A and B are shown apart, each in its own frame.
Chain A
Amino acid sequence: MVRELKITPIKNGTVIDHIGNGLALEVLRIIGIKELDKDSTVSIALHVRSGKIGWKDMVKVENMELSPRKVNAIALLAPTATISIIRDYRVQDKRSVDLPERIFGIVKCPNPSCISNQSEPVESQFHVIRRRPVVLSCAYCERQVDEFLKHLA
């Protein structure tokens, strides 16, 4: 079988694979393009056939490894994603994202009257109260959130 190579390999960096179809741009938003090294290349594949999840998106970022906070944010938006760390063209580490029990700073509470939206010196904090589909509850006002895209901090 001839394998079609849609994205070229990277020497060092991170591959985020098995991103749910259509969510790659959101993942990029979490990664924060502005924070990238100016020599880094970012490759995106949208709507790629996947044996595991039907259709998927994929993002490769050169010269960058994700902080735990960014990994948590990806877990929230794209729970099926896998993250591979590439060093010298080799996969150094590959793991599925895992949603922690508490989420700090990634999502903003949708309740405008919540104390976490009143310029207090605290970051937003949510408890994960359901995993499939993900539902969060604000640790301060207990408001529940199930649409994160609209409320990313």
Chain B
Amino acid sequence: MALKGRDLVSIRDLSPREITDLLRASRKMIPIAEGKKASNALAGKIVAMAFFEPSTRTRLSFEAAVQRLGGRCITIADSGISSMKKGESLYDTVRMLSSYSDAIVIRHPNEGAARLAADASDKPVINAGDGAGQHPTQALLDLATMQEAFGALAGLKVVLLGDLKYGRTVHSLAYALGILGSELVLASPPALRLPDESRAELDQLGVKITEEPDIERAVRDADVLYVTRIQKERFPDEGEYRKVAGSYRIDARVLASAKPRLIVMHPLPRAGEIDPEVDRTPHAAYFREAFLAVPVRMALLSGVLGGRAR
């Protein structure tokens, strides 16, 4: 895999072939991520975690990925106590970090921050979410979850449900699914539809897309139901939020007419979009999805840092 030394800022930085290679490498990492096998592929490597925005899952899974491969992390986990508070630019902070580490994982509240970091750094930069922008490693682990469940991604019918406008995971994911040959069904409230730009791009790629705001109908012959978090802060008032959030709640009733093999996914944290009763059904794939973050990020870090298990 020719990932060595490269940045991963946007899912568009990867070709379909590179994505499938990464997914294959991720599967091999699973026993190491589960602690059943040991690896020292990243021995002697330091990865900087530059988190300028709160994150639990993403940061911890990256840290676990580095440590499972025998590497070490240095971490900025609170922009409040970091140099940014003293007025240092992101550019300067990243230049400094790149001289202390072998790769940088960055999350930042501003869109485009990871691209700027990649320009500033002479070490590989991995985007772990920049504002409402890209979150390519989330898309990769989502793909890994679907591939594990179904074997192939081409021909899968994937329903993207909820906030398709602001949800940063969903744009990267829709693009990746599109270039890998999946079919998309968009189910969102009118105010939270996929932005025209993203829709136009998918159309240009020849992706088969339908819109179906009725969840039960959308789910009927789908393979994957990808639920996003409806973000409260995006709504002008609480009443509007409740109305929308309430209309997109997945429970046993909604899933009654679904295929037996349908999987329900969610980038987590969930905020009431999925009833806990779904956890006990074979449809629930979101905790597996959260686990697969580790082997996927291991495969990526290993590729970018040129690590080989010894």
Contacts and interface: CB of A to CB of B under 8 A. Distances in A.
Given A119-B89, A120-B91, A113 B110 contact: yes
B167 to A, nearest CB: 15
A53 interface: no
Contacts of B132: 113
A106 B98 CA distance: 30
Given A115-B116, A142-B10, A122 B91 contact: yes
Interface in B1-44: 10
Interface residues of A, number: 18
Contacts of A122: 91, 116, 119
B39 to A, nearest CB: 35
B112 A121 contact: no
A46 interface: no
B111 A141 contact: yes
B89 A114 contact: no
A90 B146 CA distance: 69
Give chain B's interface residue range (CB within 8 Å of chain A). Answer: 20 to 34
Centre residue among A115, A118, A139, A142 by max chain B CB count within 10 A: A115
B115 A115 contact: yes
Interface of A: 109, 111, 113-116, 118-122, 138-144
Interface of B: 10, 89-92, 108-113, 115-116, 119, 130-134, 197
Given A115-B113, A116-B112, 18 more contacts: A113-B111, A113-B131, A113-B132, A114-B110, A115-B90, A115-B115, A118-B90, A118-B110, A121-B91, A121-B92, A122-B91, A138-B112, A140-B113, A141-B111, A141-B133, A142-B10, A142-B111, A142-B133
